[in-house]
Structure 1
Amino acid sequence: MSNIDNMTTGNIITDKETGTRYRIIYVSVKNIVLCEMDITKFVLISMSYMQLVDFIQEHNFTISDDKGLVFDENNLSENIKTKYIRNRDMMNEIVAAYGPTFLGLSGKKPKKRLYEILEKYNCSSSTFWRLCVKYFQSGMKTYTLVDGKTWSNVKGKELKRNVKSGKHSEYVESGIVVNDKVREQFEDALNHYKKGRAKSFRSAFDWMNYKYYSETKIINGATTVGLMPESQRPTYNQFYYYCSKHITEQEKDLIKTSAAEQRNNKRLLTSDSLHGVYGPGDMVEIDACEADVSLVSSADSNKTIGRPIVYFMIDVYTRAIIAMSVAFDNNSILGVTNLFLNLADNKKEYCSRFGMGFDDDAIWPSNIKPRRVRVDRGSEFKSKEFIRICNELGIELQIVSGASGSLKGVVEQSFHQMHSRQNEHLEDNGLIEKRYDSNHHKEATLNIEQYTKMVINFVLMHNQQYDKTYPLTKEMMDKRIQPIPAALWAYGAQKIAPSRIPDKDQYLYTLMTPIKAKLSRRGISYNGLWYLPKDDKKLTKDMFRAGTKKVPFEARMDKRSVNDIYYIRNGNLMKASLNEMITGNADFADLTEKEWNDYRKGKSQLDAKGRIQNEDLSAFNYSVNQEIVESAQKNTYSDKKNMRVTRELEKQKVSRENNIAQRLQDEDTKVLPEKPNPKPKRKPKSFQEAIEMYFD
């Protein structure tokens, strides 16, 4: 990378003289904060932007980039995944508290907020600083928050423990190696603990021993049940340690009281939508609405297609709309992922596609990853797929109570404002009026591209609009901060930096849908289509080994296109495209999965009609064969003597009947159709009549 103008967080700066590498973790027009790499200490260096530019231009420093590992958290073991989620959520709060420069984390200055967060997540200081060094030196990529032993498996190594960890007893051999099977038993016992208020860790431990580590014994002639030797079962300390890592104090409190009591007695008493919101990107609200307009087809402006669906993601702290989507997917996960794709888009490039633009980045922020998201009980927001996406992105999901639009009133109000701004212009152009004589479908004139441009125009206006109802703080008043979303974003980002998307590949992989593909010698098959990877020798070997078997293959797909599927190989995002060498595969390129499924449905209908036709033909074929055989029936056996001579005579007879001369003769003797008899000629009565008869 040589373009200094594109310098951003995550880039690597290398001192050519010493070879020391630094990671950019904050950049502005004035200052840059670097984190020194390849060391075990957390060292931040702040310098002016122009100074670094001078160093690069004088060829003292070089600027480069790298890619992180892409991973699927669902493939992690339960223990590793739990630790990863804890680390991810903890780091999100650290970023919110000490961003955007993170200089507050370095040095010996008091860090009260840091230790509050560590106490909340039950994390020791040594563990945190070890994570902190890896996280910031990587450019804040989430894969560094996964236990490093996991990536040793990616590289082909496997960690096996054959001896029980921890201090051994001096008096009796006790405890066993805690492997995945034992962890499953611990998890079962922990679930047993969660089922009742009267249960304790000790009683759950006894329950586990009775279920998994008991055996029948005969003592003094009587049959009884006893525990296995201590060297063949886990200790209470091993079980308690596992439980302490997999249940929080809040969960224990909820188990021992009730959800209602905890909610009423221990929740924060909120006063308004800003209470508990610490800065830009900390909390967003998402909702969708059907726009009050009917649109026409982009391909044929005379065809009406109905109402579009508008999705907004609005930042609660600043009231800025940070993502939007206009499509026709209602109550669909595709509509939500459209919104998250726009969240990562470069908004200036997005606007330029529609002939619009803006100057200040704060007007419409790009590449933001919110910490919390508040939604209603729509089917797309309650779906397993949306919950999976939020979990993998490390976004806390808050679903408000049903019929409680006021609990996410910020985004609800933005839709009312959008309609009030647009309806005047949409009148007689497809505006849907709440009247029985509304002719919106007949009056529709706008297509989706034109209406999207109107929505973009509203977003840009909204993010620059003065909001007199916004509750300014004393500090905002002292600094004369205007209650404008763009101004509030710029102000808030200087105090608490919003989280950025550190790895675009990982982010886009998360937004794709997991699919159940199959691997065989022909390639990767999914939903009737065949895919073939490029430059993946390992997968080629796997295909050869699979042979004719269909081996399950983990992959993901963007439902908006069947062209490619994606999978992970050694931490890299790999792509397999439609195999054009298989007949018919390439014909379906650039289709959505819905369009491809419609084709398959049409093929199924053809197959059903074809099956009926084949049955009719088969029955007719059978009846003709049966008639021929019955007509040849006779009362005596055939004579097989002199069969060779008889066969030769019959052979020559057939040859004579199939000769070419006979066919040529048949062509010459074909009877031509008779021509109609001409009308009898009469004698003309005059010269003029003779001329007319001649030309007739």
Structure 2
Amino acid sequence: MQVEINSIWDVKGVDGLDDGLYRLLASYKDDDLFILFNMSSKSKLQRPIGVSIELFSEIIKREEIKSSAFELPFYQLASESDIPQAHVEKRNEQFELIKALVVEPYFLFEIVLNQRCGVMPAHAKSKGTYVQKLYRILNQYWRYGQDINALVPAYKNSGGPGEPRLAGVKKRGAPVQLSTPSMIPPSGKNTTEDDKKKFLKAIKKYALKGRPTAISRVYDKMLNELYADEILQAERECRDPLVPSLRAFRYWVKKLIPESEMIRKRTSKGDFERNRRGLRGAATDHSEVPGSYFELDATVLDVHIVSEFNRNQVIGRPTLYYVVDKESKMVVGVHVSMEYASWRAGRQALVNSFTAKKEFCSRYGVEIEKEDWPCHHIPQRLLCDRGEFICKKAEELAVPLIGHLSFAPPYRADKKGVVEHRFHILNENLIHDLMGTTRGVNHIRGDKDPRMDAVHTLNEVIQMIIEDVLKQNSKTLDALAVQTTLLIESDLSPTPLNYWNVHLKKHFHALNKADEAEVRAKLLPVVYVSMTSKGIRLNENMYYECDRPEFEDWKTIARNNGTWRMESRIDSDSASFIYVRLQAHEGFTRCKLMQMSSIFEDRHIADVLYFKDWKKIEKSKLNVSSRSINIHARRNSIIEDAKKEVKDSPKPSTKAERVRDMKDRRREYILDSRVDERVDPNSDLMDNDSSVERMSEVRKKKVISILKRKKDSDK
């Protein structure tokens, strides 16, 4: 082991040397001698000790001497400009007394070998001082590193700062200043050791209970409980009670209880871990490259939305899912729906993050290139909440794709700090500026209801969120600049998009290529559809078709032999397409919405559900109204009148007579109707007695004989 001048050594169990710390002052290799100084005692003066170099090396090998360290006092570590001038003068004055001794190379050698060395008395006489003073200065010089600043006076320790003192009779502290001379301030009371015990008891009983409590309230409770006798006695004697003041109470609470303990115990454990504890590092400390960790989380957006079908119908606040790459802070997936935070909605966010974004963005009117949002990969790990993914479905479907799921503890949003910060940015930049926003606060009685201002549909909100995500992915983040040198080498600005692209280009990533068909087949919800004569039916009014040549034949079979059921996968972001397993032993085929169901084109599943609910409500409404009641009454009246006239008319003798010559009577009725249409009722034909004869002649002229087909019996 290398032995250096001024090095510190911890000595234990060595013959001839007391246990403790020693500083190596000098080395005389020619004389096989190390000069050591014992630093353990400050109370008495110490002389340096000589030790053989060979023996010292052997003791080091036996580990009876170990290398150690000694911390210099803080006032000796100050720069020259920060040392007060009076301290500098005192330091220089003491150094001048020993300068001639310490610069002499063999001074330590002589003082160690000669116990009655005459160098010290002679030097003390020449400087006009005494030997003990020189030894005091030299001890300080040797103890603190043989440097001129070792002689800086320790005036900062004068008076025993921080050391407790016993209270005397005289009142300590600044007196109360009054402007009115005739008013006498209360005398007050010095804080005693008994008072300090009461302070600790009150603080532990009322303040350190896991919730914030005002110190003044704790002080009042302490007086009522622990100083009640003194206060009652003072009232009987008509004097001021001798109790500590609130100011003294605050002062001693800070002195007696560490501030870190006060912070920790005056709040809940979860709040301390989230918002108050000291930070141990950055969020990216455990993610080496893009794809190491994706964070997934959901939040209810602070804005109310309306229906696509009827903008006067508010349907509530949607749920937003973000999937963010922890290393690059890139938003790799987004999903907005009216579903509550659940596995059903969470897997839609995973599908979005694992698939290409160009078609997804164009669906909402945002045209991009693949390079603008090149995120369609599967990560090594996914950090998510227990609520959505700690279920059997997530383990069966997501784990085979991702490989490892990590769950954040309950009430610990700080464990997903990157995605939580993305929510905060979205609220500040977009959501809190929209019509119908709640601004993250509960509705207060008397304020305007934000639901009354809601004007945006779900698709409009999704479009604005997509545009904000693209903006945030291209925003400069200073934190990314210190995470890698690739951005500097490529001369790229530190944005999430550049960080993502440069790592993929250099193959420094942990991303896996995602097969879109496999992702959708494994993650999208299973729904069974029916093959009908019109097409593939989902729900009641949604029909889909595909480009298969045999599709028309399947419709024909379904019309004649009945419908059959098929397995499908639906994407809740759009009703324009579904994925159907058309035959038992094949994959899923993309089917598009038919023209007859075009009302659902590009609709979100929330709008489809709204349409179904609207139909249910309309069906449940009463069809009876005042008009229908009047129609029903008139209809019954007509029926009763007709029955009465039939009853008053002469009855036929037989049933056959009632229906006999029915065709002739119908023919005459038709001819009469035709004549009535051609003859004006107000003409002269209707004014004389011959009108009937004339009408009969007209009727005969209109009659045309038609040849009848011979019956088989006539042949």
* TM-score computed with the length of structure 2 as normaliser: 0.41
**Bigger CA radius of gyration:** 2
Structure showing greater relative contact order (alpha-carbon pairs closer than 8 Å, 6 or more residues apart): 1
